[in-house]
Structure 1
Amino acid sequence: MSATKWVLCPICNRKTRIKVREDTILEDFPLYCPKCHRETLIAVHKQKIIILKEPDS
C-alpha cells in the first residue's frame, strides 16, 4: 500500500484537504487553503511539492 502525505499550505504551513500518494503527479494545480483562504499554484512529483506561483495580494 502506498504511503499518503497531506499537502501543506506553502503560506501558513497548515494541512489542506488534499492528500497525495507516492505515485501522484500534479501539474499546475491550484491549491486552496481553507485556513488562510489563499490559492497557490503548485506541482507535485513523488510527494515533493514545488510552488509555481503565489498570487498577488
Structure 2
Amino acid sequence: MIKCESYWLRCPTCGNKTRVKIRTDTELKNFPLFCPKCKHESLINVKRQQIVVIEPDAKTQSR
C-alpha cells in the first residue's frame, strides 16, 4: 500500500490556503481555483504537486 499525503492548495495570487485539499497523486486539468481571502479565481493545472497557472484567453476576459 502506498501512503499518499495530502496538502492544501495555495492561491497563486496571494499565497494563502484555499478550501481545496489534494493528495500527492492528484492531477487536475483546467481547474477553477477560488481564493476566499483575495476573491481571485485562477484556472490551474496540477500534476505531481506542481501548480501551473493557465492564462485566460481574450474571450473569457471580455465577459
Which of these residues, 29, 32, 36, is aligned with residue 34 of structure 2? 32
Distance 2:42 2:15 in 1: 12
- Structure with higher RCO (Cα < 8 A, 6+ apart): 1
Structure in which a larger fraction of residues adopt strand: 1
* Structure 2 length-normalised TM: 0.79
Q: Which runs of 5+ in 1 are unaligned?
A: none
Q: Superposition RMSD on alpha carbons, in Å?
A: 1.6
Moved over 6 A (4+): none
Instruction: Determine what percentage of the aligned residue pairs are the same residue.
Output: 45
* Structure 1 length-normalised TM: 0.87
Q: Which runs of 5+ in 2 are unaligned?
A: none
Distance 1:22 1:14 in 2: 19
> How many residues end up aligned between the 2 structures?
56
Contact 1:5 1:47 in 2 (8 A): no
Which of these residues, 18, 30, 42, is aligned with residue 44 of structure 2? 42
Structure in which a larger fraction of residues adopt helix: 2
